[in-house]
Amino acid sequence: MITKTVPLKELTTIRQKGSVVLSYIEDLAEIEGKPILIGSGSNVIIKKSSKLYKLSEKFNYIKKRENGLLLVGGATPLKTLILYGFEHSLSCLEFLAGVPASLGGLTAMNAGAFGHEVSEFVEFVKVYDFKKGTIVVRRDVVFGYRTSDIEGIVVEVGLRCKRADGALLRKRVSEFIKKRVKKAHLINTFGSVFKNPSGDFTAGKLIEECGLKGRARNSAMISRKHGNFIVGNGNVDVDDVLYLIELAKGEVLKRFGVELEREVRVL
């Protein structure tokens, strides 16, 4: 395992201040205990962990099998998969285009957008099980709203894709990206802060109704465009982010009696 001190700016999409000790997992046999894992860092802030683990480039691959089945390594960026789909006329996760995440993170969190979720395309997941110290092939993963019962490291995902025209896929992806840019932000953020509560209102709307859009604390601000996004100044302090999260949570509870659940993970 290669271990280095790495700036958090390079590891987190919100571009966090500070640094952390990071070990790149090459050989799963070298793992001891239950490491704290980071994927592409697109839905995390780092508060508690002084040491993190990340799958190395060895887990960045796509292998094609019969009938649209793709074996995708856990460290593979979503963007690579989407470009692969264009070339091979295969459709699966275009609805997430623009999300700067890895396939491992997307699967473990069952990411979703525009009425679709990753789980719709998952045939099996190869998980490195911490307790057993070996890889387990799971076809029975229980997926929920932005969650799954995966405990361990997603090393490979079997994705069942559909045949589709490459030009059509490009068009669809550019439409999804346009919608995203209009709605929220693509950089200096970690996506949604909270899960949407059940009921008629989204977390973003509830935060907006509390008058919190544009509320800032030093290096971070609740987006003026979308109440459920926090944007950083490119060198964000985790305490500023946590302050705004608690502020939004507290105000929504006070005003609407709704307890928001955090989507972003604090590692």
Ligand X SMILES: Cc1cc2nc3c(=O)[nH]c(=O)nc-3n(C[C@H](O)[C@H](O)[C@H](O)COP(=O)(O)OP(=O)(O)OC[C@H]3O[C@@H](n4cnc5c(N)ncnc54)[C@H](O)[C@@H]3O)c2cc1C
The residues carrying an active-site annotation are 146, 192, 263
The least CB distance from residue 89 to ligand X, in Å, is 24
DSSP H or E segment with residue 110: none
Q: Tell me the C-alpha distance between 196 and 145, whole Å.
A: 9
Of the candidate spans 18-26, 65-73, 188-196, 210-218, the one that interacts with ligand X by CB under 6 A turns out to be: 188-196
70 binding ligand X? (CB under 6 A)? no
If phi > 0 it is left, if psi is from -120 to 50 it is alpha, else beta; for residue 236 that is beta
109 binding ligand X? (CB under 6 A)? yes
Q: Which is nearer to ligand X, 73 or 85 (CB)?
A: 73
- Angstrom CA distances, 137 to 54, 57, 86, 153, stand at 20, 21, 28, 12
146 binding ligand X? (CB under 6 A)? yes
The least CB distance from residue 156 to ligand X, in Å, is 9
Q: Which is nearer to ligand X, 212 or 267 (CB)?
A: 267
106 binding ligand X? (CB under 6 A)? yes
Q: Which is nearer to ligand X, 225 or 265 (CB)?
A: 265
Q: Tell me the C-alpha distance between 90 and 159, whole Å.
A: 11
Q: Which is nearer to ligand X, 104 or 227 (CB)?
A: 104
**Residue from 15, 190, 228, 238 in contact with ligand X (CB under 6 A):** 190
For residue 216 the two structure tokens come to: 């800032």
Q: For residue 58, what is the DSSP state?
A: G
The least CB distance from residue 188 to ligand X, in Å, is 9
Q: Tell me the C-alpha distance between 157 and 169, whole Å.
A: 21
191 binding ligand X? (CB under 6 A)? yes
195 binding ligand X? (CB under 6 A)? no
Q: What single letter denotes the amino acid at residue 129?
A: D
Nearest one of 97, 121, 115, 112 to 144, comparing CA atoms: 112
Nearest one of 136, 108, 86 to 38, comparing CA atoms: 108
3-state secondary structure of 156: strand
**Residue from 39, 68, 204, 227 in contact with ligand X (CB under 6 A):** 39
Binding site for ligand X (CB under 6 A): 13, 37-44, 55, 74, 96, 99-102, 104-106, 108-109, 111-113, 146, 153-154, 186, 189-191, 265
